[in-house]
Amino acid sequence: MAGAEFESLEQCLEKHLPLADLREVKRILYGKETRELNLPRGAFEAATKGDFELLGCAFEAVEEQQRRPRTVRVGLVQNRTPLPADTPVVKQVTALHRRIAAIAEVAAMCGVNIICFQEAWTMPFAFCTREKLPWTEFAESAEDGPTTRFCQELSRKHGMVVVSPILERDVEHGDVLWNTAVVISNSGKVLGKTRKNHIPRVGDFNESTYYMEGNLGHPVFQTPFGRIAVNICYGRHHPLNWLMFSINGAEIIFNPSATIGVLSESLWPIEARNAAIANHCFTCAINRVGEERFPNEFTSGDGKKAHQDFGYFYGSSYVAAPDGSRTPGLPRNRDGLLVAELDLNLCRQTSDIWGFKMTGRYEMYAQELAEAVKPSYSPNIVKE
Ligand SMILES: NC(=O)NCCC(=O)O
């Protein structure tokens, strides 16, 4: 299984395929080509200086007679944790704040309106360990914790909406923990929060040791830059989770994640992209980068030797559009900022063509699902 030495699928195709074949392969694998965004030279210089990849892509929609283009720029940030996991908690959080502030500065230079960070971005992804301390000390209040206050400053300074996925400590309800994304409006106000609805019980993702399934449903946040929602990580395997955000009117659904190659890399390019197609919306898949090593050994319950690392987080963040097109991914092995310009008019335009909302049989599904969840249900299998 590739680690940092394999940069990206795109780079590999570009290196090995003749140009004519490459064009056809990209047409089939990526759909209608995105336009390269003309980003300021200073932004590329700052990215080089800050040692992260900067990639700019634009999706286009057809010009309409009665609606202006609804153009918005999103920024997806993927990064490794800059300090080892055994560094004191506050030092790790501060280093991450500093790293993200530098990347957000470049996002602002690129005219980003909505920026989203990776899942649990203020900490190493320590849930593999099943240990409580010191990892639970990374949890913060969604309303006024240090990270939310930091993001409020970012949003005021740059006039951006900030989506900040954190480990939440809910002091109002018995100090319990949640896997939460805080949405901060471009005015600097906390617009609200959403919680991870589906908790993995797969491999080393021992997250149910720390928090329960979210209890906030599928909120959609109205911003000046469109209606947005956040489907946190493992929720991307659940088509109905995407659907419910879309039913509530989401035009852009962010999917901040933390996932490793051995488990999910072949699913990654499919799931968020399929959700964009099925729900006539844009989706933004974000994954962290690199290897994280923990002080104590843990086992994966698979008979293999105890070890101290989670596996390789493969980055590869991308944006997918309702017409099935997608951007290239950010590299597997570098921090990065993907700036994508979206024309939200593409959502309705694609819906008018394909009509999935119109042809979906929601009433029938709702009735059948209502029956299927009853303990007395028996599946509708016709037998001879
Ligand atoms: N963070 C998280 O939910 N990871 C689970 C693994 C996956 O969904 O790929």
Backbone angles phi, psi at 285, to 5 degrees: -95, 125
- Provide residues with CB under 6 Å of ligand 1: 119, 200, 202, 205, 233-234, 257-259, 263-264
Backbone angles phi, psi at 275, to 5 degrees: -65, -35
DSSP assignments along 134-196, one per residue:
TGGGG-B-TTTSHHHHHHHHHHHHHT-EEEEEEEEEEGGGTTEEEEEEEEE-TTS-EEEEEE-
**What is the model's pTM?**
0.98
Q: What is the pLDDT of residues 330-339, one digit of tens each?
A: 999 999 999 9
pLDDT of amino acid 195: 98
Residue 1, pLDDT above cutoff 90 = no
Residue nearest to ligand 1 atom 3, measured at CA: 234
Q: What is the pLDDT of residues 138-192, one digit of tens each?
A: 999 999 999 999 999 999 999 999 999 999 999 999 999 999 999 999 999 999 9
Question: Which atom of ligand 1 is found nearest the CA of 264?
Answer: 9
Interval 341-355 mean pLDDT: 98
Residue nearest to ligand 1 atom 6, measured at CA: 259
pLDDT band at 340 (very low <50, low <70, confident <90, very high): very high
pLDDT of amino acid 29: 93
pLDDT of amino acid 335: 98
48: how many CB neighbours lie within 10 A of its CB?
Answer: 11
Residue 2, pLDDT above cutoff 90 = no
Find the angle CA(121)-CA(125)-CA(129) to the nearest 5 degrees: 155
pLDDT of amino acid 212: 96
Residue nearest to ligand 1 atom 5, measured at CA: 234
Average pLDDT value for the chain: 97
Residue 380, pLDDT above cutoff 80 = yes
Pocket test for ligand 1, best of 125, 255, 259 (most atoms within 8 A of CB): 259
pLDDT band at 344 (very low <50, low <70, confident <90, very high): very high
- Compute the distance from residue 259 Cα to the ligand 1 centre, in Å: 5
List the structure tokens of 225.
């830059």
**Helices marked H in 206-287:** 239-247, 261-264, 268-279
Domain boundaries, the chain: 9-372
Q: What is the pLDDT of residues 73-132, one digit of tens each?
A: 999 999 999 999 999 999 999 999 999 999 999 999 999 999 999 999 999 999 999 999
Q: What is the pLDDT of residues 214-244, one digit of tens each?
A: 999 999 999 999 999 999 999 999 999 999 9
Query: Distance between CA 182 and CA 52 in Å, rounded?
Result: 25
Pocket test for ligand 1, best of 206, 264, 267 (most atoms within 8 A of CB): 264
Cα dist. 297→26, 134, 290 in Å?
Answer: 42, 15, 18
Query: Distance between CA 275 and CA 283 in Å, rounded?
Result: 7
- Compute the distance from residue 257 Cα to the ligand 1 centre, in Å: 7
Find the angle CA(139)-CA(141)-CA(147) to the nearest 5 degrees: 75
Nearest to 293 by CA among 51, 93, 129, 130: 129
Query: Distance between CA 76 and CA 287 in Å, rounded?
Result: 9
**Measured distance between the N- and C-terminal CA atoms of the chain, rounded to whole angstroms:** 47
H or E stretch including 298? Answer: strand 293-298
Known active-site residue 383: no
CATH number (1.20.140.10, 3.30.420.40, 3.60.110.10, 3.30.497.10) of 9-372 reads 3.60.110.10
Query: Distance between CA 186 and CA 34 in Å, rounded?
Result: 27
H or E stretch including 285? Answer: strand 282-286
pLDDT of amino acid 32: 96
Interval 245-271 mean pLDDT: 97
Known active-site residue 119: yes
Known active-site residue 233: yes
Least confident stretch, 65-69, 95-99, 133-137, 307-311: 307-311
Residue nearest to ligand 1 atom 8, measured at CA: 234
